Amino acid sequence: MGRGPTLAAMTDVLRHGRASLAFGFFAQGAAFALLVTRIPAIQDRYGVSDALLPAFLAAVPVLAGVGSVVTEWLVRRIRPSQVLRWSQPVVLLALLGVGAGDRVAVLAAALGVFGLAVGALDASMNMLGVSLQRAYGRSIMLGFHAAYSLGGILGASLAWAGAHWGLALWVSYLPVVGVLLPAVLVGSRWYVDRKADGEGAGGASGAVGGGGVGFRVLLPLCLVMTFAYIGDSTVSNWSAKYLQDVLGSSEQLATVPYNVYMVTTLLGRAVGDFGVRRFGAVAVVRGGALTAAAGFAVVAGAPGAWVGMGGFTLLGLGLCVLVPQTFAAAGRRAFEQYGSAGSDAAVARLNIFNYVGFLIGSPLVGALGGAWSYRGAMLVPMVLVLVTLVYARSFGTQPDRYGGGHERSGTAYVGRSGNGL
């Protein structure tokens, strides 16, 4: 009699936490897309030279990596939901600062704050996603990243509209920030933190604080994360140039592949959790790697623009499953040894390699394309993503193929984030 209402209440908390976190992923996708798709307009507004622009762009992922490292330290003392609750508004305000400033120093400061906050945001929201998946007892991580992709599509569409109508950056950004900022603050009331039996507020027994999650445990997953983001940055930075300069498309048609890639990423992530539940994470990761490699092969050998777009479509369907499953696998493996604090530390450390891949991918393809050929350059991320097949077994522990229930045996505590909410 006493157990039924408790389980019902826990289920409601989990559902609210899942919905609020999905909205957080959505808001982050929109904010990031609004920044990166308006880089030419940002450059024009501040008069940043072509020589200086790469330094500004590289600073964001570098500082995001620093933010992820700081987050690992913070979550030993406060809950990840608190980090997420306050880093997301900072990201949105920094975006508005980028659009509203008028001096290069203001741009540098705004991008610096944006980078640090994005690192904290990415790390903390994936920590919550991993812990919620553990609470649900079945794969839901791909759904959160699908919400991110949906936000990215919306953000890119709004950026296109702003550019099409010649709107000032702050005019484009202000309505989005005005809507998303209060929405994420309200939604943060339902974020769910989770810890297991016998853990204190700081998580597991303290082994993690001394570096208990060793690099040996995470190395295969760090490599997969890096290679996945090298592939992703190749598409985002080079798809338009490749289609226009190599495959001879029109300027208008050259803008299509990245949009197709984003849409197929969304579709793949929307159904990916069902694939994990049905076939297991190992099979889904192997299938994603093979599909992505096939996409790069089609792009490299495409005789024309439409075949090239078919290759970018395959890339979206293949790459989309790798990053969410890598976060899930890292959190699960660390949790099995070190508890919730170990899972959080593993996610924060793994998140750094998101930015490593982003920093490596675009310059690597550009250098190879200039020195060799862009067709040949596309074969390098193809080979790298195929390395995922070697490490696919790292994704394969039994809890990843959960049943249909919301709870696994042995889970003991579900609590909403801060302030007793």
- CA atoms lying within 13 Å on the CB side of residue 174: 7
Report which of residues 43 and 420 the model is more confident about.
43
User: Residue range 206-230: average pLDDT?
Assistant: 75
Q: Are strands 413-416 and 192-195 parallel, antiparallel or unpaired?
A: antiparallel
Closest among 316, 325, 324, 301 to 394, alpha carbons compared: 325
CA 148/CA 27 separation, integer angstroms: 7
User: Residue range 369-375: average pLDDT?
Assistant: 92
Strand partners of residue 416: 192
Confidence grade of residue 194 (pLDDT, cut at 50, 70, 90):
low
CA 132/CA 130 separation, integer angstroms: 5
Least confident of 97-101, 142-146, 193-197: 193-197
- Asked if the model's pLDDT at residue 4 lies above 60, the reply is no
Q: What is the mean pLDDT of the chain?
A: 87
CA 330/CA 344 separation, integer angstroms: 9
Contact between 33 and 159 (Cβ < 8 Å): yes
User: Is the C-alpha dihedral spanning 242, 246, 247, 251 positive or negative?
Assistant: positive
Read out DSSP for 231-274?
HHHHHHHHHHHIIIIIS---HHHHTHHHHHHHHHHHHHHHHHHH
* H or E segment and range at residue 414: strand 413-416
Report percent pLDDT > 70 for the chain.
87
- DSSP character at residue 302: -
Whether 1-191 shares its CATH topology with 209-401 is answered yes
Least confident of 224-228, 280-284, 395-399, 415-419: 415-419
User: Residue range 397-406: average pLDDT?
Assistant: 44
- Asked if the model's pLDDT at residue 217 lies above 80, the reply is no
Contact between 115 and 67 (Cβ < 8 Å): yes
- Asked if the model's pLDDT at residue 379 lies above 50, the reply is yes
User: Residue range 88-109: average pLDDT?
Assistant: 96
- Asked if the model's pLDDT at residue 410 lies above 80, the reply is no
The architecture in CATH of the region 209-401 reads Up-down Bundle (1.20)
Q: What is the largest CA-CA distance in the chain?
A: 72
Class of the CATH domain delimited by 1-191: mainly alpha
User: Residue range 196-206: average pLDDT?
Assistant: 40
- DSSP character at residue 404: S
Hey, what amino acid is at 51? A
Contact residues for 67 (Cβ-Cβ < 8 A; gap 6+): 87, 115, 116, 117, 118, 119, 120, 121, 123
Q: 3-state class of 193 per DSSP?
A: strand
Query: Tens of pLDDT along 47-61?
Result: 998 888 888 888 999
Contact between 109 and 60 (Cβ < 8 Å): no
Report which of residues 289 and 12 the model is more confident about.
289
- Model pLDDT, residue 237: 85
User: Residue range 281-303: average pLDDT?
Assistant: 97
CA 316/CA 288 separation, integer angstroms: 9
- Model pLDDT, residue 412: 35
Confidence grade of residue 340 (pLDDT, cut at 50, 70, 90):
confident
Closest among 25, 80, 21 to 417, alpha carbons compared: 80
Confidence grade of residue 1 (pLDDT, cut at 50, 70, 90):
very low
Query: Tens of pLDDT along 231-257?
Result: 999 998 899 889 989 999 887 788 788
Distance of CA 60 to the CA centre of its chain: 15
Where along the chain do its domains lie?
A: 1-191, 209-401
Least confident of 42-46, 137-141, 210-214, 363-367: 210-214
